[in-house]
Amino acid sequence: MAMPALPAHRWTADDVRALPDEPGKRFECVDGELLVSLNPRLPHQSAVGYLFVSVNAHCRAHDIGAAFMAPGDIELDRFTLVQPDVFVLPLVNGRRPRTAEEIGQPLLFIEVLSPRTARYDRVVKRGRYQRAAIEYWIVDLEARLVERWLPDADRPFIHTDRIVWSTTGAPDFSLDLPPLFVDALGDP
């Protein structure tokens, strides 16, 4: 007689927060699925730093939001707790949000792809971020491109030379991509 299958555990944001710290690992959950990733490699971190500095300068110059980078928990719902590599949150009464309760509708999430997280970033997170109406960029260092996903899109816009981010009431943010790839990878 076959044993009945046990139901899969549906992870909550509180479950993930209760996990013990494990050096070298990052824990997230999306729609109840636990995502475990290893610490990123140096090119990944170089790209994250470059993107954060660029996006943050634009946000500060035009008071359109506050840029942050991982680690930093964003709880989209009870079953989704993520740490995008770079993210922009709206200002609260003209200032940066200080608590989780002050986080409004995220304006932009950016993930730098690594071979170990490709499924999470391209499938699991992308679908969830689109349902939350968040613009989402996937930076693929190996292919030297950025996939720009808009909330209602069936497919991404692919950018290899420049990406532009538009927000209401502010000039567009424009980022030349070749210098990002050279900075992260160390070669032209």
pLDDT digits (tens, 9 = 90+) for 101-145: 888 899 999 999 988 888 889 989 999 999 999 999 999 999 999
Q: Quick one: pLDDT band at residue 39, thresholds 50, 70, 90?
A: confident
Q: Decide: 58 and 68 in contact? Cβ < 8 Å.
A: no
- Examine residue 75 and state whether it is found in any structural domain, yes or no: yes
Q: Which amino acid is at 166?
A: S
pLDDT digits (tens, 9 = 90+) for 69-110: 998 899 999 999 999 999 999 999 888 888 888 888 999 999
Q: Distance between CA 51 and CA 131 in Å, rounded?
A: 24
- Examine residue 57 and state whether it is found in any structural domain, yes or no: yes
Interior angle at CA 158, CA 153 and CA 159, nearest 5: 135
3-state secondary structure 70-132: CCCCEEEECCEEECCCEEEECCECCECCCCHHHCCCCCEEEEECCCCCHHHHHHHHHHHHHHC
Q: Quick one: pLDDT band at residue 33, thresholds 50, 70, 90?
A: very high
Q: Is 16 exposed, middle or buried (0-12, 13-18, 19+ CB in 10 A)?
A: buried
Residue 3 has pLDDT above 80, yes or no: no
Specify the number of domains making up the chain.
1
Residue 51 has pLDDT above 90, yes or no: yes
CA atoms within 13 A on the CB side of 142: 4
**33-38 vs 135-140, strand pairing mode:** unpaired
Task: Supply φ then ψ for residue 144, to 5 degrees.
Answer: 55, 55
- Examine residue 14 and state whether it is found in any structural domain, yes or no: no
Can you give the residue range of the structural domain that contains 178? 42-185
Residue 149 has pLDDT above 80, yes or no: yes
- Examine residue 13 and state whether it is found in any structural domain, yes or no: no
Helix pair angle (177-185, 42-62), 10° resolution: 140
Task: Supply φ then ψ for residue 80, to 5 degrees.
Answer: -135, 115
pTM of the model: 0.91
- Examine residue 29 and state whether it is found in any structural domain, yes or no: no
Residue 151 sits in a domain of what CATH number? Answer: 3.90.1570.10
- Examine residue 138 and state whether it is found in any structural domain, yes or no: yes
- Examine residue 174 and state whether it is found in any structural domain, yes or no: yes
- Examine residue 19 and state whether it is found in any structural domain, yes or no: no
The pLDDT score that the predictor gives to residue 101 is 85
